[in-house]
Amino acid sequence: MSEIDALEDSNIIISDDMITFVGGNTELESYLQKNNIKEIAEFDASGKVIMPGFVDSHTHFVFAGSREDEYEMRLAGKSYQEIAETGGGIWSTVTNVRQSDKNELKSLAAKKLATFFSYGTTTLEGKSGYGLDIENELKMLDIINSLNSSNEFGIDIVPTFLGAHSIPREMSKESYVDLICNEMIPSVAKAHLSKYIDIFIEKGYFDVNDADRILGEGVKHGLTPRTHIDQFTSMGGTEISLKHGAVSLDHLEVMSDEDIKLMAKYNESAERKTVAGLLPGVSYFLGISYTPGRKLIDAGVPVLIATDFNPGSCMSQNMQLMMSLASTQIKMTAEEIINAVTINPAYSLGLDHKVGSIERGKQADLLIFDMPSYKYLIYNFGVNNLEFVVKKGKFFNVNEITSSLSN
C-alpha cells in the first residue's frame, strides 16, 4: 500500500493505445535507435505530474431523476433508512428507471461519464440494481455493456449485476430472492451481461441467508461476488462474502475488528485476494462513520477507494474529492491513496494486467496534472488540478470537456 515507485526525469512512449516505453533519457536514446524510431510527436510534461488514470470500481451511474428532496430531509434530521421506509431511497430511483426508455437512460448515463472523465476516471464499474425486475435489470446491464463498447472517451466500463439491491414493492422478499436465483442470474449469465454479482446485505434489505443463496447461485453461473456490507449494520457480511470468494467487500463503515482479522486471514491463502472498498464520499454525504481504513491497511488488507456515485448516498463522480476525504478523514498517506485509486481497484476488477499503473505493455491511460509533486493533489483540495486525460493513447483537454458539460 505504501510504495508507488514514482519516477523523475522520465519519458513515456505511447504507440497507438499502448505504453511501449517508460524510462530515463539514456535508455530513451537507445530505445529509439534500436527500434529505428525517427519521428515522434512530443508532449512536453516538464514540471507536471503524470499518474495512471483512476479506476473507480464501485458506481451506480445508470439512473434517472435525482433525490435532492431526500437530501434536504436528511439535513432536517431524517436518516437514510427512515427515508427508505417511507417510499423514498432506492425505490424512488427504481420508479424513475422503470419509466425511462433505454435511449433516454443511456444518454443520461453517457452525460455522467463525461463528468467522471473530467476528474480523471478512465475505467469504471457500473451496477444494475434500479430495475428490480427482469426487464429493467437487463435493460440497465445492456446500457452499461453498450456504453462500454462505445462512449465518447473510450472509457472502459465493467458491469456488475446487482438485482439484490432492494426488495421491489410488488412482491415478498422470498419471491424476489427466488426470482433472482431462478430467472435473473441464469439470464444474466446466459447473455454474458456481467462477470460480477453484488448484493446489499443490510437490515431491511437482504440478510446473510439470502446472500448465501444468491451469491452461491451466482458463483454456480460463473459470476464473481463483490458486495455491499456493514454500511449501517454489522451482520455477518464479511464471512458470507468470503465464503463465496468475493473480490471486493465494499462500504464497511461499521466493520468490526474481528471481521478485519477475518479478511486478513482469508488473504493469506486466497488465490484471488479480496480488497476492502472504502467509499468515503458516502460517509461524508450521509454523515455516518468512516470505514476503518487505517486498521485494515495496518492488518495487511489491500484497500481501494471508490466514489459509489449514486443519487442517494453519494452524488459525486469526483475521485479527487474521495482522495482528499481518505486523507483527512481516514488518515491515509498520499502513496496509499494513489494505490487505492489505481492498481488496487484494477486488481479487484481483474484488469490489473491492462490498467492501473504506468508500465510498458499496459494501456496508455494517463492523467497529466499541472502541479509540483504527486503529494500536491490531496493538499490542493476541492479544485480540479487535471489538465489532460490520455485515454487509450488519445489526448483530451480537461477544460474543453468541462466547458462542454451542462448539467
Site for ligand NIG, rule CB under 6 A = 60, 89-90, 93, 200, 228, 231, 282, 308, 310-313
Complex with Fe ion: residue 156 or 198, whichever CB lies closer: 198
Residue 115 touches which of Fe ion, ligand NIG, none (CB < 5 to 8 A by kind)?
Answer: none
Phi/psi at 381 (5° precision): -90, 160
- Per the CB < 8 A criterion, the answer to whether 199 and 241 are in contact is no
Q: 247 — alpha (psi -120 to 50), left (phi > 0) or beta?
A: alpha
Complex with ligand NIG: residue 52 or 89, whichever CB lies closer: 89
CB of 91 to ligand NIG, least distance (A): 9
Residues pairing with 389 in the sheet: 367, 396
CB of 44 to Fe ion, least distance (A): 40
Residue 125 touches which of Fe ion, ligand NIG, none (CB < 5 to 8 A by kind)?
Answer: none
Please count the residues of the chain.
407
CB of 41 to Fe ion, least distance (A): 41
CB contact set of 61 (below 8 Å; sequence gap of 6+)? 109, 112, 113, 116, 124, 126, 309, 310, 317
CB of 250 to ligand NIG, least distance (A): 7
CB of 200 to ligand NIG, least distance (A): 5
- Per the CB < 8 A criterion, the answer to whether 197 and 190 are in contact is no
Complex with Fe ion: residue 217 or 308, whichever CB lies closer: 308
Residue 112 touches which of ligand NIG, Fe ion, none (CB < 5 to 8 A by kind)?
Answer: none
CB of 277 to Fe ion, least distance (A): 9
**202 binding Fe ion? (CB under 5 A):** no
CB of 375 to ligand NIG, least distance (A): 30
CB of 310 to ligand NIG, least distance (A): 4
Residue 133 touches which of ligand NIG, Fe ion, none (CB < 5 to 8 A by kind)?
Answer: none
CB-based closest residue to Fe ion: 308
Complex with ligand NIG: residue 157 or 314, whichever CB lies closer: 314
- Site size toward Fe ion (CB under 5 A) is 1
- Per the CB < 8 A criterion, the answer to whether 342 and 54 are in contact is yes
Q: How many C-alpha atoms does 217 have within 13 Å on its Cβ side? A: 23
Residue 322 touches which of ligand NIG, Fe ion, none (CB < 5 to 8 A by kind)?
Answer: none
Q: How far apart are CA 380 and CA 120, in angstroms?
A: 16
Per-residue x/- mask for Fe ion, residues 29 to 68, rule CB under 5 A?
Answer: ----------------------------------------
Complex with ligand NIG: residue 136 or 385, whichever CB lies closer: 136
Complex with ligand NIG: residue 136 or 363, whichever CB lies closer: 136
CB-based closest residue to ligand NIG: 312
Q: How far apart are CA 356 and CA 359, in angstroms?
A: 9
Please report, as residue ranges, which positions from 279 to 318 form the binding site for Fe ion (by CB under 5 A): 308
Complex with Fe ion: residue 52 or 281, whichever CB lies closer: 281
Complex with ligand NIG: residue 230 or 365, whichever CB lies closer: 230
Q: How far apart are CA 254 and CA 258, in angstroms?
A: 12
Q: What is the binding site for Fe ion (CB under 5 A)?
A: 308
